[in-house]
Amino acid sequence: MLLGLLGAAGAFGVCEAVSRAGIVRRSYLPPASEVLVRAARLTADPVFVDGIGVTLRAWALGLGLACAIAVPLGLLLGAVPVVEAAARAVIEFLRPLPSVALIPLVSLLLGSGTETEVTLIAYASLWPVLFNTVYGLGETDPLAKDTLRAFGFGRLAVLLRVELPATAPFIAAGVRISAAVALILAVATEILSGFGQGLGIFIAQAQTATDGTRDVLAGVVWAGGLGLVINGVLVGVEGRLFAWALEPGPEAGKSERGHP
């Protein structure tokens, strides 16, 4: 932990020194302290704070929509092998398409507004949740399923009482991956649309201003901070809700980080 702080301070110092010493042009890489001060000052800027709100709202809507579609679909695909085999062909052809490439088409269809942003976020964050749901269903303990079946429970009851709870940790992991993807898409659509409100739009507009690198970097700091907080919250929620499902193997390695 202490070393980590030291490392962060070191990285900060190097950026600061490189810029102050004039190794790169100041307009390319402003001193780290100026960027951080600017990022902190932005909290007092109501337009910027509103923009963050707009971005987060689109992010949450898109992610929610994706989960609402992907979890039931994943359960269906995972529970009925024939549907899975059939749908896989279509999915395998849809998934490799880089979602950012859909921005031009969707903006032609829906115009450049929140709808476009939410649609794209939902599309892109659909896949991790979907695949994790299907995968998680496959990992369910067959003994538990057979036990319930032996007691005369129907297909649906088995799904709801055994398979869904057993899959939940996998779904949660999928949502965590999707949350990062959704943020990428939110920022990307906003940067490309170029007007309106949002974090990406702040970055895109700062880029064109003279000496705007400082503002762009302040926006990047905010974007990274958002990503970090979102990931941290989701990891925390996962750990709390699904502590029973955590495998001891890889997690044991992580605890070493505490005392280097």
Partner 1 sequence: MTGTQGNASGSPRATAVPFLLRWAVLLVAVACWELAARARGSVYFPPPLRIARHARDLWFSGAVDHLFLTPAAVDTILPSLGRMAAGFALAAVAGITLGIAMGRSRRAYALCNPVLQFARSVPPPALVPVFVVVFDFGTPMQVASIVFSAVWPVLVNSAEGARATDPLRLEVAAVLRLTAPERLWFLILPSALPRIFAGLRLSLSLCLILMVFSELLPGADDGIGFTLTDAQTRSDLLTVWAALMLLGALGYLLNTGLLAVEKRLVGPRTSAGRTA
By CB under 8 A, name the one of 17, 88, 141, 160 that touches partner 1.
Answer: 88
Assess contact for 67 and 121: CB atoms under 8 A: no
Rounded to the nearest whole angstrom, what is the least distance from the CB of residue 153 to partner 1 in the complex? 27
Q: Rounded to an integer, what distance in angstroms lies between the CA atom of residue 108 and that of residue 106?
A: 5
Assess contact for 49 and 43: CB atoms under 8 A: yes
CB of 141 or CB of 157, closer to partner 1: 141
Pick the piece of the chain touching partner 1 (CB under 8 A) from 26-34, 61-69, 71-79, 145-153: 26-34
CB of 168 or CB of 180, closer to partner 1: 180
- Closest alpha carbon to 239 in 165, 173, 180, 161: 173
Contact set for partner 1, span 186-225 (CB under 8 A): 186-188, 191-192, 194, 199-200, 203-204, 206-207, 212-213, 216-217, 219-220, 223-225
Assess contact for 148 and 158: CB atoms under 8 A: yes
13 binds partner 1 (CB under 8 A): no
CB of 154 or CB of 224, closer to partner 1: 224
- Closest alpha carbon to 213 in 48, 18, 32: 32
Q: Rounded to an integer, what distance in angstroms lies between the CA atom of residue 116 and that of residue 124?
A: 12
21 binds partner 1 (CB under 8 A): no
Pick the piece of the chain touching partner 1 (CB under 8 A) from 41-49, 107-115, 157-165, 236-244: 107-115
By CB under 8 A, name the one of 23, 27, 146, 237 that touches partner 1.
Answer: 27
Rounded to the nearest whole angstrom, what is the least distance from the CB of residue 222 to partner 1 in the complex? 9
Helix (H) or strand (E) holding 63: helix 46-79
Assess contact for 230 and 224: CB atoms under 8 A: no
CB of 82 or CB of 156, closer to partner 1: 82
Helix (H) or strand (E) holding 196: none
Rounded to the nearest whole angstrom, what is the least distance from the CB of residue 147 to partner 1 in the complex? 25
150 binds partner 1 (CB under 8 A): no
Strands (E), the chain: none
130 binds partner 1 (CB under 8 A): no
CA 177, chain centre distance (Å): 5
Q: Rounded to an integer, what distance in angstroms lies between the CA atom of residue 232 and that of residue 212?
A: 30
